[in-house]
Chain A
Amino acid sequence: MLTDLQEIIESVKKGDQAAFRRIVEEYRQQAFSLAFRIMCDEEEARDVVQESFIKVWQKIETYDMTQKFSTWLYKIVANSAIDRLRQIKRHNLVNLEKVISQLDHINREITQMEVDNKETTELIRWLAEGLPEKQQIVFVLRDLQGIESSEVRQILNLSENSVKSNLYHARKAIREKLLKVIK
């Protein structure tokens, strides 16, 4: 955790790239986790996070220092991921890098990390499958990412009731799905 975050952000606002590097190093893993859980795709998640950090650099002037930085970053990441998901659905896109990486896997040994990531992807995809977009995102943010409801509300620009109701319906659907498998 950066103790001098406010100072670092002030430096970034002045165009200090070294300060921005510190922010990237500090938050890249959290941002990647969120993007990964929304996209259910490692390559797409990497692209989304890179794009999000570039947006952070470009829009740092608009960041309100009274707000939590992680909430602002999550908001950018979540919106970029949602936009990308919609784009993929609309145009039925295939990520070229993903195809290349899959082809690459044929010729080399797969690491344990890749297996773990793949399993996590499959699990989340299975759980969230069939959920409406909003329910899926609220579930990912609250139950998988462990973000507080008040923060989820700010990230998604939703009312308290909307967050509660989306979470309730998502949990209900997932509960039924899991219980069928467990029993």
Chain B
Amino acid sequence: MECINVRKEIERLVYLDNQNLGDEIYRHIESCRACAQYLEETRLVAGKIAGIRHREPILKNPEGFTEDIMKAIQIDSKENHFQITEKSGKFPVITFLQRLLAAASVCLFLVFGYEEYVVVDKISRLEKQNAAISQSSQYRSALKLKKTISILSADPEMLNQYTELKTKKINLRTLLKAAMYADVAGITPDAPGWLKRSDYNASISPFMSILKQFDSTHYTIQR
């Protein structure tokens, strides 16, 4: 017999009240010092455990303990009786209706939940498509504008017309300013004579500077 099997047997037999090990194990132990020591230690440990096993915990006041249990089961019996009486009445119908209602609400939740999901999914897809279309139309308009600008800037006649229009606009603005000054100074084309010379010069000087500005453009205003 091998040491490992001998020790297993020692473990198995020694623990509960130190049962007889058998001749085969005793023969092995006589020739094996390690297993002999193992047996000695196991017996020591098993003896200690047996000592604890024999120290039976004592239940204090066992009669009172039993009475407490009996009181508890009497209360329990009354509660159970009440439950049984309830069950024999309307209870099963109510339970059935409650369960039916719960099942129906679960079904409704599933159906409407799915519908909601489908609608939300469609809306989000449409929103995505819309955003894509809007972006592409903006891009196309920008491209169109860029193309127009490049065509216009490439044509010299168009460029000239543009410059002329710009000059005309500046001249018109200058003339408007001059007219405003003249109006403030009370100068009319037909009767400036009643003004004194000094007053006339004081009023006319800003007007003249505007006219000079107008002349510097080297363009005549045509109505």
Write the residues of chain A forming the contact surface with B, with a CB cutoff of 8 angstroms: 15, 17, 20-21, 24-25, 28-29, 32-33, 36-37, 42, 45-46, 49-50, 53-54, 57-58, 113-114, 116-117, 119-121, 123-124, 127, 143-146, 168, 171, 174-175, 178-179, 182
Contact = CB atoms under 8 A, between A and B. Distances in A.
Contacts, number: 94
B72 to A, nearest CB: 5
B4 to A, nearest CB: 12
A104 to B, nearest CB: 12
Contact of B45 (A32, A124, A179): A179
B69 interface: yes
A94 to B, nearest CB: 20
Contacts of B49: 127, 143-144, 174, 178
Interface stretch (B53-61, B119-127, B149-157, B176-184): B53-61
Nearest to A45: B57
Contacts of B208: none
A182 B43 CA distance: 12
Interface centre among B49, B69, B70 (most CB of A within 10 A): B69
Nearest to B52: A123
A58 B69 contact: no
Contacts of A58: 76
Contacts of A32: 57, 59
Given A53-B69, A54-B76, A175-B42, A144 B53 contact: yes
B70 A28 contact: no
B57 A17 contact: no
Contacts of B72: 50, 54
B195 interface: no
Contacts of B59: 28-29, 32, 46
Interface in B1-56: 11, 15-16, 41-42, 44-45, 48-49, 52-53, 55-56
A36 B57 contact: yes
A62 B41 CA distance: 45
Contacts of B68: 50
A25 B53 CA distance: 22
In the A-B complex, the 7 residue pairs with the smallest Cβ-Cβ separation, listed nearest first, are A36-B57, A32-B59, A57-B73, A120-B55, A53-B69, A175-B45, A178-B45
B45 A116 contact: no
A171 B56 contact: no
B58 A117 contact: yes
A57 B48 CA distance: 37
Contact of B73 (A17, A46, A179): A17
A67 to B, nearest CB: 22
Contact of A21 (B11, B55, B66): B66
Nearest to A15: B77
B62 interface: yes
Interface centre among B59, B65, B76 (most CB of A within 10 A): B59
A42 B59 CA distance: 8
A3 B133 CA distance: 93
Contacts of B15: 143, 171
